Structure 1
Amino acid sequence: MKIFKKNSLKISDNKRTRAAELTLRESIYPICLVTILFFLWGFSYGLLDTLNKHFQETLGITRARSSGLQAAYFGAYPLASLGHANWILRHYGYKPVFIWGLILYGVGALIAWPCILHRSFGGFCASIFIIGNGLGALETAANPYITVCGPPRYSELRINISQAFNGIGTVVAPVLGSYVFFKNTGDSVASLKNVQWVYLAIACFTFLLAVVFYFSPIPEITDADMAFQAEETHAGTDVKPFRKQYRLFHAAFAQFCYTGAQVAIAGYFINYVTETRGHTNSALGAQFLAGAQGAFALGRFAGSAIMKFVKPRWVYFVFMTMCIVFIAPSITQRGNTGMAMLYVTLFFESIIFPTIVALGMRGLGKYTKQGSGYIVGGVAGGAVVPPLLGAAADAQNSTAMAMTVPLCFFVAAWTYAICVNFVPQYRDVADKFTTTEIGVTNAHAHDEENAVQVPYEEKGESPSETEKVAEKV
């Protein structure tokens, strides 16, 4: 494969490509390249959680107001996933969305610099909104791309492994915040100035990565490819109108509720430990957050390994159930016990988001690109639930008691886990994809340009006279 090559940025969605039956080996390069994006938004998200608490102290704002960072960041997602990014995805393809998202991310990072220097919380929220649009665009394309790039039976495994690098990014950011941004500066405004260089580095890196994506020969996956996969697995639901794709809309609802709860817990984790654990300052709280995000990343690798042997829908059900079981005690427990409950909760949160994406997109066929926008748009829950938790914490003067809010949203997201395991209309579609041999055996058998020619002797047949003449020619 040629690594750097100028390719067309527009491919017809009505045309079948080789991407419909990519093998594991053929999908390695594009998957590795796209996985870099997962680290990027994990880092950005982890950095946001760290800055949340420090903005409260350096700028003297309330917990509810500081949630404006999450509201700006995740509020941009539906604008991207249902708006500009989804339009580009459906009309031009995956690669243009990757480039577009990286450019927006870089522009937002550049704007963040002067906003931080001038202590403008509103300006920084505006830059975060632009960054959120860029990352929303990347997620709109990257999540479905990883899901469909390669053998369909391994889609949940692929996306969880890629998302594990997202988890690594969320670990690196709090560590950087604790040991670089705020070390030896306490909570002074000087600490914020250290952040500007990170955002400048982010901008330079994303612009460079956009150039790499432009010249990289990424296989384009069209609606025709997805319709073929759905037809071959006999699990396609794209014969129904889009408005009747109820499984998709339920998955989007679950994503909204789950993501909102996840973001709220991480966003107020430092508040929780500084309030409930004695002699814990914000810098130490950021270190504890890094450890919790480490448990999150570990959960993704562990969950991916388990999915090799257990059906992903069952892994999702168990992990979702454990989130509810362990977040509940954190409401009443204090000190190390309460913090440990949040650690375990983050471990089990790990595989929920990517598995909802993979299961929700099963069988969508020609609606895959359009449907992915709705599931990724569910990330908007991250703009709704944190302000609710912040308001509850201010009203009760207790972040621990406010953990009731994410608990309720976890229960709502649990409804999809129940349906995908116990309702046949959900379960059967998921299971048919886990047994398909597309991209595993006899790869490209349906691809006329790249079909593997089996010798007559192996098929136990004799060539006709016409065929013998054709072979000689």
Structure 2
Amino acid sequence: MAFYKRKITVSDKAVTNAANLTLRQSLIPNLLVTILFFLWGFAYGLLDVLNSHFQQALDITASKSSGLQAAYFGAYFLCPLTISGWILRKYGFRVTFMTGLAVLAVGCLLFWPSGVKKSFGGFCGSMFVVGAGLSTLETAADPFLAICGPPRYSEVRLNLAQSVQGVGTFVAPLLASRVFFAHTLDTDAGLKNVQWVYLGVACFVGLLIILFFLAPFPEITDADMTQQESDITEGAIDPGPLRKQYNLFLGVFSQFCYVGAQVAVAGFFINFCLESGRTAAESSDLLAVAQGLYAANRFIASGLMMLKPFKPRYMLATYLFLCFVFSVAAMNTSGTASIALLILVFCFESCCFATIFTLALRGLGRHTKSGGAMLVAAISGGTVFPPMMGAVVTNRNAHIALAIPMMGYILAWAFPLYVNFFNRDMVDLHRDTDLNVGTKMVGEKDVEVEEQRHSSEKRIEAGEANEVEQGKKE
């Protein structure tokens, strides 16, 4: 069949082999999606450095420079709950990936005229389009990694992908300090280099669009997730209407607060270092060190979660609490000690995002795609916290401003408290299941899948009918 006649979409009511992929079978599609995480890390890491340098290059205050974060993460609030979430449910993962990559390429190209005009508003607009593309990609990528393969290793898969993202976040500030804004380059030359970098990213993204179109790619549907949930719970238990998924909603709240705190700390890390007696170049290097340790600790956390005693709910509660402890310590010290303590905050942020995401998706069944879109939209917390911190940095100092992310860590801790004390049986059931851990090939399951197709479609239709009926009664 000609490539332009290939069918690349699947009905959400169809049962496919994708829900039955073993660890070995899911390796290639997961690796393909993991490539995208490097793009996120690079864009995010470069954003933190641009935030600081734009304050000098464009003569703006710290609070105004936070407009970059507001533009970037504002797209996360709009897209997953509207267009990208709809594309995922209507056309599936492959089309959503290709759409997100196309929008990302456009956003990267917009950096060129913004750099020529030295327009901060233009940079904010470009960053919004980049955020729209990345949020569309993440609407598909995070849920895909959480559900493609054995449920037992959901947290491990997403944390490993996030580790690759951390590598991109580590490379970006290092590249910025050595190339874009090196001592030998003036501000104009540095901005011109940024233009060329984003042009290169746009070309690379164009190649990825072709790759995602041509590569064999499993489509996991709502019917697949209904079947998988039934297999895990050993019964056809419907999760109920979306409005009653309290584990999800608390996870969304926690993700919003945590991401807001994380973005605020990274966005004003250089200001914090400058205040502690470091130069701009040294501060950028220290940011690279912090992001490098952040990425390395994600690999460590992923390895720990492979071991039975290190349950994801324990890891999340511990790491998030230590973020709060070391942010308080960094606030109340000065000089090198305060920088070291703030770097420790980066270390313990490492596994929080991915673990919140996967724990909040547990037990959603046919609501998994909708839940994933909500959790991606929660990344928009990065729009709220940095401007608040920027205002305090402008009017007081960066040490006092750490009270803003500290508050975010406290609020985010509500979710690990809930899953450890009120919902631990459900999350542990998904953690301990042996479903798809074996090496049975998909071909051996074809007969079983064919038999499950009709029953899964009926369960979905029955669940939707119950929601409509309950809505009428209420």
Q: Deviations over 1:318-345 (max 9, x none)?
A: 1111111111111121111111111111
Aligned to 1:201: 200
Closer, same or farther: CA 448–28 of 1 in aligned 2, 3 Å? closer
Aligned to 1:326: 326
Aligned to 1:430: 427
Q: Which secondary structure state, in structure 2, belongs to the residue aligned with residue 305 of structure 1?
A: helix
Q: Which secondary structure state, in structure 1, belongs to the residue aligned with residue 382 of structure 2?
A: helix
Closer, same or farther: CA 110–341 of 1 in aligned 2, 3 Å? same
Instruction: Answer yes or no: is 1:378 the counterpart of 2:375.
Output: no
Q: Which secondary structure state, in structure 1, belongs to the residue aligned with residue 363 of structure 2?
A: coil
The TM-score with structure 1 as length reference comes to: 0.91
Tell which deviates more after alignment, 255-264 or 4-13: 4-13
Equivalent of residue 303 in structure 2, options 299, 302, 305: 305
Asked if the contact 2:239–2:363 (Cα under 8 Å) also holds between the matched residues in 1, the reply is no
Which runs of structure 2 are paired with 1:172-321 in the superposition (5 Å)?
A: 172-185=171-184, 188-234=187-233, 238-276=238-276, 278=277, 280-309=278-307, 310-321=310-321
The TM-score with structure 2 as length reference comes to: 0.91
Aligned to 2:41: 42
Aligned to 2:460: none
Q: CA deviation at 1:428?
A: 1.5
Q: Deviations over 1:131-176 (max 9, x none)?
A: 0000001111000000101011111111101110000000000011
Asked if the contact 1:5–1:215 (Cα under 8 Å) also holds between the matched residues in 2, the reply is no
Report the Cα distance in structure 1 between the residues aligned to 2:185 and 2:65, rounded to whole angstroms: 19
Aligned to 1:421: 420
Report the Cα distance in structure 1 between the residues aligned to 2:267 and 2:238, rounded to whole angstroms: 38
Amino acid aligned to 2:131: G
Aligned to 2:160: 161
Asked if the contact 2:330–2:341 (Cα under 8 Å) also holds between the matched residues in 1, the reply is yes
Asked if the contact 1:6–1:217 (Cα under 8 Å) also holds between the matched residues in 2, the reply is no
Report the Cα distance in structure 2 between the residues aligned to 1:21 and 1:283, rounded to whole angstroms: 50
Asked if the contact 1:17–1:225 (Cα under 8 Å) also holds between the matched residues in 2, the reply is yes
Report the Cα distance in structure 2 between the residues aligned to 1:308 and 1:327, rounded to whole angstroms: 28
Q: Which secondary structure state, in structure 2, belongs to the residue aligned with residue 25 of structure 1?
A: coil
Report the Cα distance in structure 2 between the residues aligned to 1:219 and 1:413, rounded to whole angstroms: 33
Aligned to 1:152: 151
Report the Cα distance in structure 2 between the residues aligned to 1:146 and 1:268, rounded to whole angstroms: 31
Report the Cα distance in structure 1 between the residues aligned to 2:4 and 2:255, rounded to whole angstroms: 37
Report the Cα distance in structure 1 between the residues aligned to 2:148 and 2:350, rounded to whole angstroms: 22
Q: Which secondary structure state, in structure 1, belongs to the residue aligned with residue 24 of structure 2?
A: helix
Report the Cα distance in structure 2 between the residues aligned to 1:265 and 1:298, rounded to whole angstroms: 18
Report the Cα distance in structure 1 between the residues aligned to 2:6 and 2:357, rounded to whole angstroms: 28
Report the Cα distance in structure 1 between the residues aligned to 2:323 and 2:196, rounded to whole angstroms: 36
Q: CA deviation at 1:450?
A: 5.8
Which runs of structure 2 are paired with 1:15-30 in the superposition (5 Å)?
A: 15-30=14-29
Asked if the contact 2:24–2:439 (Cα under 8 Å) also holds between the matched residues in 1, the reply is no
Q: Deviations over 1:218-243 (max 9, x none)?
A: 10000011111111111887531111
Percent of pairs with identical residues: 48
Report the Cα distance in structure 1 between the residues aligned to 2:198 and 2:438, rounded to whole angstroms: 46
Report the Cα distance in structure 2 between the residues aligned to 1:42 and 1:139, rounded to whole angstroms: 12
RMSD across aligned positions (CA): 1.8
Closer, same or farther: CA 450–334 of 1 in aligned 2, 3 Å? farther
Q: CA deviation at 1:9?
A: 2.4
Asked if the contact 1:78–1:378 (Cα under 8 Å) also holds between the matched residues in 2, the reply is yes
Aligned to 1:55: 54
Q: Which secondary structure state, in structure 1, belongs to the residue aligned with residue 426 of structure 2?
A: helix
Asked if the contact 1:393–1:402 (Cα under 8 Å) also holds between the matched residues in 2, the reply is yes
Q: Deviations over 1:176-232 (max 9, x none)?
A: 100010113466232211111100000000011011001111100000111111111
Report the Cα distance in structure 2 between the residues aligned to 1:166 and 1:427, rounded to whole angstroms: 29
Amino acid aligned to 1:356: I
Closer, same or farther: CA 442–183 of 1 in aligned 2, 3 Å? closer
Closer, same or farther: CA 181–249 of 1 in aligned 2, 3 Å? same
Which runs of structure 2 are paired with 1:119-158 in the superposition (5 Å)?
A: 119-158=118-157
Amino acid aligned to 1:216: A
Asked if the contact 2:21–2:442 (Cα under 8 Å) also holds between the matched residues in 1, the reply is no
Report the Cα distance in structure 2 between the residues aligned to 1:281 and 1:238, rounded to whole angstroms: 58
Asked if the contact 1:324–1:410 (Cα under 8 Å) also holds between the matched residues in 2, the reply is yes
Aligned to 1:441: 438
Q: Which secondary structure state, in structure 2, belongs to the residue aligned with residue 26 of structure 1?
A: coil
Amino acid aligned to 2:281: A
Report the Cα distance in structure 2 between the residues aligned to 1:327 and 1:185, rounded to whole angstroms: 35
The unaligned stretches of length 5 or more in structure 2 are: 450-474
